[in-house]
Structure 1
Amino acid sequence: ARRAAGRLRQGKTATPSLNPAAPLAALVDIFLPGPTRSHTTGAAARRDPTVDQDIRAILDKTSHQLWETGVRYAIATQPLRSGTQPRHRLRGLADAIASSFAVYAGRNRLAHRTRMPHPVAVLAARRLGPGFLTSSPELAAMAGLPRDLAVPGLDRARAKSMPVPVAVPSGGRSRKVLGDGEVGGHAVALSVPDARYHTHMVGQTGSGKTTLLANLIIDDITAGRGTIVLDPHGDLVLDVLDRIPATMADRVVLFDPAQRNPPALNPLEGDDPDLVVDNLVSIFGSIFSKAWGPRMDDVMRVSCLTLLRHANVTLQHIPPLLNSAQFRSAMTVDLDDPDGLHGFWQWYDELSPALRSQIIGPVLARLRAFLLRDFVRKTLRYPKSSFDMSKILDGGVLLVRIPKGELGEDTSRLLGSLILARVWQAATARASVPADRRKDCAIYLDEAQNFLTLAASLDTMLAEARKYRLAMTIAHQDLAQFPRELLAAVSANARNKIYFSVAPEDARVLARHTLPELDEHDLAHLDAYTAVARLVVDGRQTPAFTLRT
């Protein structure tokens, strides 16, 4: 091919040809020099604008893998009755086959044909001599592969298999095993320090996401690391409970609607009242965002701050604070800030009953719907929590099973968010603990979009969680479940990426993290229990690869 380009540059044809008059022309050039010389100069050749295009096309073609290609065909028929002339019909069929390649009969001379002297013997022997040089796109075009997806018996290409980078660990102490590499089959693991860079996990129903989550959770529990799981479906926690060794049962705190006596949790507990109230109001405002306004925010915030001036208070004290003048008087008698809480309650007591009901009605309606759930009422009725969240972070296990089908979507989101707020309060309290004494804890948020409603932005949480040695795994089914700002925060700050099979529209977005190794076609065509991973190793991201969980 390169020699052909060189001949074109010299003004010759791409393929050498024999010219019977060449010797005579050479003699004429010798004895009659000057402008009568018979050969074509390079300048003359360059007058043809297509020559430069051919040269560039040839050189571009030689930069890719090439295939020697030959197309052979023969037409045969059974002997027919006497008097018929099958030769004309066969010749017509042969010409029809040849004409199908007419679209490729350009200046590359692909349409050159020769007749096989003994077609049956040549085809049977399958001897392949020199053929056309074709690139992969040219070969695919000549193959005429069907583009219709509904072709019976045709299996479409699935995702590519990519090898695991050498730097990725394969197991051992302080490492979480993710699965086995598709290429090579050796184990793939994520070190505990690198897990602190957080993990973003996406996968459709049935893709294998829940199985991997369960494996990672069991790995953390058996290694003695703190483990927290929020499960809004319920199946993940049940799977984990079936696999936890009986010897570790004393480390487990379980929230489950099936319990008669669930653990006690007071969302109003905390060393920083302002942070407690900020999280509580933010959670209610996020979950009821369509109906939540400034007045509801004000009523909720003032009520919580007022209750926190006293000991042994819970969320169940908010309705009597707003409805009972006697209870309200007892809670506000010691307030001495006329521009703050005292001023609010003074204004509130001067309202007419009708206007007062109009102001507090929306808050009480949403709070009452939450507190009337039997499981929620039993969980939140005590002023002291029955477990220490800091001990959970230091090696305990907190399993929160809050299925939407049993509790309702709003209740499930509220309770999960309140528990996550308590986790975050305990995590930030680690600031007073020396860094080398902070123990690793893993937080698994299945369908994470339900619980990321705290006052602190997700950017801030992910950035600070790492220094508190919290490794967050944010799992969900598709990108549409996340608001744009949350998705941007996860994309930038959860640096370990694990993607199971996703919808094509999600694959286009997620491919930004897996290119050039794997593209959107690969992400949309992964087999079940097969994932694309891009992990952090020693603080640096590896190229994308495939693994089986």
Structure 2
Amino acid sequence: MIAAAGSPARGWLGRFLLDPGAPLRTLTRAVEHLLAWPAVIALVLVVAGMLAVARVLVTVRAHRLAARGRQITVRTPPEVDAKAALALWAHLIGQLRPAWARLLLGQPHLGWEYTVTPEAGAAIRVWVPGSIPSGLVERAITSAWPGAHTHTLEAAEPAVPVSGPAARRLLVGGQLRLGRGEGYPLRTDYAGDFVRDVITAAEDLDPGHAACVQILARPVTGRRVRRAVRTASPRTGLVLGLARDLLNLLTPGPVTRPATTTAGRGRVQEWQAVLESTAAARAAAVKARGPHWETILRYAVSVPVPPDAEPGLVRTLREVARGRADALATVAGSAAEYNYYRRRRQLRLGRVLCERRLGRGDVLSVPELAALAHLPYDPNLPALQRAGARALAPSPEIPSQGAYIKSLGVADSASGRPVGVRVSDARHHLHILGPTGVGKSTLLARMILDDAEAGRGLIVIDPKGDLVTDVLSRLPKRLAEKVVLFDADSSAPPPCVNPLDIDRTSHASLDLAVDNLVTVFHRIFSQFWGPRTDDVMRASLLTLCAQPGVATLADLPRLLTEAPFRARVTRTTTDPVLLGFWSAYETLSEAGRAQVIGPLLNKLRAFLLRPWVRAAIAAGPSTVSFGEVLDSGGICLARLPKGSIGEETSRLVGSLLVARTWQATTARARQPAADRADASLVLDEAQNFLHLSTPVEDMLAEARGLRLSMVLAHQNLGQLPRELRDAISANARNKVIFGVSPDDARELARHTSPWLSEHDLRHLDAFHAAARLLVHGQQARPFTVTTQPLDPPVPGRARHIAAVARARHTRPGPAPANTPVTDPRPGDPRIT
């Protein structure tokens, strides 16, 4: 409908019909206004401000992602599975954040680095930003490579040394980027090993030089992958496709010329190109499957420059560094297939290497990344830091901490949780094996301190002295009243434990005490001990114990050599067998008697001529009851250093203390089982003290029911006779094994295979051990554990506890002229 003449047009349609050029003129005036200089300047300022703000936000986000970075050093296991890297990078793809988190906070990336220096050799490290939870990457690495060890430092070091105020260095390198579109794949099935080639290319570096290959990677979304695949697609665009269809309509007919010889060759070449393009497209389609990472690969060589270096020397060093860097870059040529790496310059190389910056990188599939970032396959690769033994996490049923848990340390795995053995399971006894200096004494001291804190009875026999010294200097002061101390280096008289001070109302106790004494002497002096010596000692001890009062070992030489004393003692003997022995003894001539008793007396006198020993076992009635020590939570510490009293004397005194402990333990059979308190007997260098008349296998089996836990520690299996070795192997069912010899590893691997092999037991580091424990009486699978260092010693604590113990358990008497107990100080070699 048309408006009447003279009336204004209504609506935009009417205005357009009356003046069709008005919108164009309006748009033109607006553009002219915007193009005025003030508007242009304002627009430029706005755009520049927005770009600056965006740059600041990106920088802040990058610094936030990289803050509190950690550096994980990975030590390669003895055997590396070629597919383990695929599992690692496929597992870590789970760190991809949601879209809103990537937009606001960014996506954190990882840095996989190979570094080579002549001082430290080759190392493989993983840089992890603080935004990734602690322990996640460590657990992923140990899960992919079960035998790998990881060591994490909170403050990440630079990938290579760079110039600083103290030293000037030349840094030569660059970055490697894909030469074709991201959609085309690299080669992943070549027979070589990228890591081995990198480390080999950096071999024979001069002192102070360093080389590094750094691979930064972060997971990407499907949209980023589709954009990368589009670059490898043979399809044309929409406009070109429409134009091609239009030309086909306008010019119908065949598009190729009749075949000639030249045209035939061209067609063959064309078909080859088509096949090659099809194969590349198929490979790109394969790459598009699965998760992907955005990566950048950088390489660098750092060379120190002397402060007074001449220009010619600097040029020479630069050429050397460039040659090394080129060798690293050419290693990437082994990955060339449908795609390849091309070298590019890297601005501010030192800064981006140290800050691990990842801007826009190349998209790689998991197999491509795994071919570049993995642990080396070659077990003989020189200068590579390798893991000695696999770190095996404890099973969930292994206890951690508690009132009824004896602590062993922390798990040697990413979890690092405390581990221990239950008191009820410790009744099956604990066998600790390992050479000196690996941490046995530290483990024993911690277990002793735990038992003391818990109020469980303790008897500790230490033939070296360091263990008791460590315990004394760390015991709480409130436990001083419970301590019984035998210290061969002390100038004060020791407590007395008379092996002949027994319950005379029990013939079983008398027979056991005499049997133990004779067996101890027999086994310690086995090379010089015969049946006649055994008969003389047994009859003499039974005769002395049958007399009123308390006999001592010091009475034994008098009985054999002094006729008046012998007549007075034997006058009251009623046993016909003993009377027959002494009647035959009296018929011997002096020379005959000397020949019979000589082997016994020369051993016994050498033993009793030591004042400290005589005071400890032959000074009269006992001043210490081992039964009370076991039942009331006492702490008996026997420090018997071989260097002070001799090896044989240390073994003899320790064996007598073990015999006394066993007598007190067997006396528990008269108590109800519920009333027997848990106690422990700790024997360091246990092979020196297991000389009782009771077979060790029977002793271990009976001790469990009597609630005595035995801890048997020594250095190697060769120290044990075959019978003793078999008894401990079968009846000490909790095993803690430190690094052992190949022969021992072969024997002990029966307890830990298939989880821990012979190789693992041989290559355990110091303060690392393999443990296989009982859990509720059932054997759990083995695991690896790291022993924890002891707390610092308390100054004056050992002296205070020793003084309290002397006041309670010794009688006044002449003191042996020896050295007193002293407190260990920091740096003292006795502290382990």
TM-score under structure 1 normalisation?
0.75
Structure 1 portions without partners, runs of 5+: 1-66, 75-112, 133-138
The two structures, once aligned, show a CA RMSD in angstroms of: 2.8
2:432 maps to 1:201: yes
Q: Is 1:266 paired with 2:503?
A: no
38, 55, 70: which one aligns with 2:190: 70
Alignment-derived partner of residue 517 in structure 1 = 755
1:334 Cα deviation (Å)?
1.9
Aligned position for 1:277: 514
What is the CA deviation profile of residues 181-208 of structure 1, one whole-angstrom value per residue up to 9, with x for unaligned ones? 1221111121111110100001111111
Decide which of 536, 539, 546 is 2:777's aligned counterpart.
Answer: 539
Deviation per residue, 1:220-266 (Å, 9 max, x gap): 00111101100000000000000111111010000001142100111
- Judge conservation of contact 1:69–1:131 (CA < 8 Å) in 2: no
Residue 644 of structure 2 is aligned with which of 403, 406, 422?
A: 406
SS in 1 for 2:658: helix
Task: Report whether the alignment pairs 1:316 with 2:550.
Answer: no
**2:727 counterpart residue number:** 489
Report how far residue 119 of structure 1 moved: 6.4
1:241 to 466, 472, 490: 472
Letter in 2 for 1:303: S
C-alpha deviation, 1:69, in angstroms: 2.1
Aligned counterparts of 1:334 and 1:412: Cα–Cα separation in 2: 35
**AA aligned opposite 1:208:** G
1:27-46 matches, within 5 Å, as none
Quote the offset at 1:68 in angstroms.
5.7
Q: CA deviation at 1:381?
A: 3.1
Structure 1 residue ranges (4+ consecutive) displaced by more than 3 angstroms after TM superposition: 71-74, 113-132, 142-145
Secondary structure in 2 matching 1:533 = strand
How far residue 529 of structure 1 moved from its aligned partner, in angstroms, is: 1.0
Q: 1:128 to 1:259 in 2, by over 3 A?
A: same
Q: CA deviation at 1:71?
A: 4.5
Matches within 5 A, 1:78-477: 121=342, 145-146=379-380, 151=382, 153-183=383-413, 184-257=415-488, 258-271=490-503, 272-310=509-547, 311-338=549-576, 340-394=577-631, 395-477=633-715
1:382 Cα offset (Å):
2.6
Number of residue pairs aligned between Structure 1 and Structure 2: 436
CA 1:212–1:114 in structure 2 vs 1: closer, same or farther (change >3 Å)? closer
CA contact (8 A) 2:399 2:419 kept: yes
Q: CA deviation at 1:131?
A: 9.9
1:11-37 Cα deviation digits (max 9, x unpaired): xxxxxxxxxxxxxxxxxxxxxxxxxxx
- 8 Å CA contact 2:431, 2:728 repeated in 1: yes
For 1:350 and 1:449, the matched residues in 2 are separated by 41
- Compute the displacement of 1:431 (Å): 0.6
CA drift of 1:118 comes to 8.4
Helix, strand or coil: the match of 1:146?
A: coil
Structure-2 change in CA distance of 1:128 and 1:432 (3 Å): same
Secondary structure of the residue aligned to 2:574 is coil
Q: CA deviation at 1:158?
A: 1.4
Instruction: Answer 1 or 2: higher relative contact order, Cα 8 Å, separation at least 6.
Output: 1
Report the CA distance between 1:343 and its aligned residue.
0.5
CA contact (8 A) 1:70 1:131 kept: no
Q: Deviations over 1:474-511 (max 9, x none)?
A: 00011111111101000000011111111111111111
Residue by residue, what CA displacement relative to the aligned partner does 1:144-173 show, whole Å, maximum 9, x if unpaired?
Answer: 5537xxx4x233331001111011111112
Q: CA deviation at 1:434?
A: 0.6
Counterparts of 1:190 and 1:118 in 2: how far apart (Å)? 56
Q: Alpha-carbon deviation of 1:349?
A: 0.5
Following TM superposition, by how much is the alpha carbon of 1:70 offset from its aligned partner in structure 2, in angstroms?
2.1
Task: Tell me, in whole angstroms, the C-alpha distance in 1 between the residues paired with 2:544 and 2:673.
Answer: 35
Q: Are residues 176 and 292 of structure 1, via their aligned partners in 2, closer, same or farther at CA, if it must alter by over 3 Å?
A: same
Alignment correspondent of 2:163? none
Please state whether the residue corresponding to 2:588 is helix, strand or coil. coil
> Aligned partners of 1:226, 1:260: CA distance in 2, in Å?
24
Q: How many Å separate the matches in 2 of 1:196 and 1:541?
A: 14
Q: 1:335, CA displacement in angstroms? A: 2.3
Change (3 A) 1:256 1:145: closer
Q: Which is higher, the Rg of structure 1 or of structure 2?
A: 2
Would the alpha carbon gap of residues 500 and 246 (structure 1) be closer, same or farther in structure 2, given more than 3 Å must change?
same
SS in 1 for 2:498: coil
Q: Which runs of 5+ in 2 are unaligned?
A: 1-186, 198-333, 346-360, 369-373, 504-508, 788-832
Write the distance in 1 (CA, Å) between the matches of 2:367 and 2:479: 70
CA shift for structure 1 position 122: 10
SS of residue in 2 equivalent to 1:220: helix
Letter of the structure 2 residue corresponding to residue 342 of structure 1: L
Q: Answer with 262-271 or 398-407: which moved more.
A: 262-271
Distance 2:649 2:437 in 1: 26
Give the letter aligned to residue 322 of structure 1.
Answer: L
Q: Deviations over 1:130-150 (max 9, x none)?
A: 999xxxxxx99x965537xxx
Give the CA deviation at 1:542: 0.4
Single out whichever of 170-179 and 534-543 deviates more from structure 2: 170-179
Are the aligned partners of 1:534 and 1:542 in contact in 2 as well (CA < 8 Å)? yes
